[in-house]
Amino acid sequence: MSEHQYDFDLFVIGTGPGGEGAAMQARKGGLSVGVAEKYRQIGGGCTHWGTIPSKALRYTITNTNNVLKNPMFRELGIHANPSMEQLRRGTATIISKQVSMRQSFYDRNDVPVHTGHAKFIDDHTITIDDGEQITSNRFVISTGTRPYRPADVNFDHPRIFDSDTILMLDRKPTSITIYGAGVIGTEYASMFRNIGMKVNLINTRSSLLDFLDDEIVDALSYHLRDQGVVIRHDEEYERIEGLDDGVILHLQSGKQIKSDVLLWGNGRTGNTNALGLENVNLDVNSRGQLEVNGHFQTAREHIYAVGDVIGYPSLASAAYTQGRAAAMHMLGEKDDNFRLHDIPTGIYTSPEISSVGKTERELTAAKIPYEVGQSQFKSLARAQIMGNTVGMLKLLFHRETLKVLGVHCFGANASEIIHIGQAVMDSEDLTLEYFFETTFNYPTMAEAYRVAALNGFNRLF
């Protein structure tokens, strides 16, 4: 507790995963906590515009495709072409359930939610919508990000979208151009191709998702192209021309690409521009993001920041853990950052991708003697039963100690499968031997670990 009297020990700005993690952990530790949310409902971009609605739509599309491709349904003459409205019909229900559940966390822990825009007035005071003033000993900024919108792109045009507005498509276009081939761009390219759209994926870099293992990147590129996605690397836009019947993307290379609609998916900006940070002497970087130390403190020690507003890795899962870590540091209960050096990626392309730990490129550069073990999903009985035989599990381990150094998965259920490898990799005692000395259920996708471990172990000499 501070020697001064404030309305709250901690005030959290933003109720996304990072804000929720900080608020609940601090409250459990005995601090008085209040939160502010400028949207009419809690949950942040994760619940309302990003993770939940996009993954719900992906799940619906995947299930619909599986049914329509099933030979039995084809034999019965069942054909369908669902509209965008039909495909996203269940999304509102899921969002409502998420909001209701998360609101109950704040209610039962006596954490008041102040609806409105929070802005700093001084080191320990904020206002809500320039009215109500609230004082607090400490703050957590968890305001997230928004799509970067260049001034020369007309986002008011009915055929030009960003990642926050694309889910509100009122009809299913024949073709789409996606500018930006990061995680968001590749996920939407895969999703829209699966409902029959012609997809142009424009990448400003020389390869897709270059933070991933090279072999996984190669597999993703191959399967996107195999599905019919046209990928163009090393391209920069010159201008975007919105027409009545489509959008023309003019590239600096001289190419012109016309499609029914365009999705701008190139970059995001921190929601910090209206927080009054100048009143607490805090600066942001060129992307509007705050710099923090290992405890998630900004340059002002009593003001913490977590989630997408601090940049990489910009994952909902990481934001929640960062929020908890910040609160634990305030409480003096934990001084490290909850294994935040080993956060698994979850990329919901089709097939999906997940990885944790080091890549081959990183291990080679560090001159660490490693070996590789692989399991191809096409050889797994469960994958054959499910009809999802595209994919692989790849284990990287130290040749001498057998310590697991990296786990990379491409294929069905990758984001679920990865956690077995994560647990073994983070263990002080377990090594590669765990996978072939442990009995896995059969048939399962998790059995890929036994196959990959034996494959790698047999390479040793």
Amino acid at 251: L
The verdict on whether residue 278 carries a ligand-binding annotation is no
Token pair belonging to 184: 């968001």
Burial class of residue 156, CB neighbours in 10 A (0-12, 13-18, 19+): exposed
**Whole-number Å distance between alpha carbons of 249 and 265:** 14
Helix (H) or strand (E) holding 217: helix 214-227
The verdict on whether residue 308 carries a ligand-binding annotation is yes
Helix (H) or strand (E) holding 147: strand 145-147
Indicate the Cα dihedral angle 187, 188, 190, 191, nearest 10°: 110
| Region of 242 on the Ramachandran plot (φ > 0 left; ψ -120 to 50 alpha; else beta) | beta
The Cβ of residue 94 has, within 10 Å, a number of other Cβ atoms equal to 16
HSE-CB at 256 with a 13 A cutoff on CA atoms is: 6
Q: Evaluate whether 91 touches 85 at the Cβ level (below 8 Å).
A: no
Token pair belonging to 218: 């190669």
The verdict on whether residue 182 carries a ligand-binding annotation is yes
Q: Evaluate whether 141 touches 147 at the Cβ level (below 8 Å).
A: no
Measured CA to CA in angstroms, residue 56 lies from 17, 94, 354, 379 at distances of 17, 8, 18, 29
Q: Evaluate whether 219 touches 197 at the Cβ level (below 8 Å).
A: no
Token pair belonging to 25: 């952990």
Q: Is the peptide bond before 158 cis (omega within 30 degrees of 0)?
A: no
**Whole-number Å distance between alpha carbons of 177 and 261:** 7
**Whole-number Å distance between alpha carbons of 315 and 294:** 17
Nearest to 323 by CA among 119, 195, 168, 139: 139
- Torsional sign, CA 221, 225, 231, 234: positive
The verdict on whether residue 129 carries a ligand-binding annotation is no
Q: Which residues pair with 33 in a beta bridge?
A: 10
The verdict on whether residue 184 carries a ligand-binding annotation is yes
Q: Which residues pair with 356 in a beta bridge?
A: 407
The verdict on whether residue 267 carries a ligand-binding annotation is yes
Q: Which residues belong to the annotated binding site for FAD?
A: 55, 308
Q: Which residues belong to the annotated binding site?
A: 55, 180-187, 267, 308
Q: Which residues belong to the annotated binding site for NAD(+)?
A: 180-187, 267
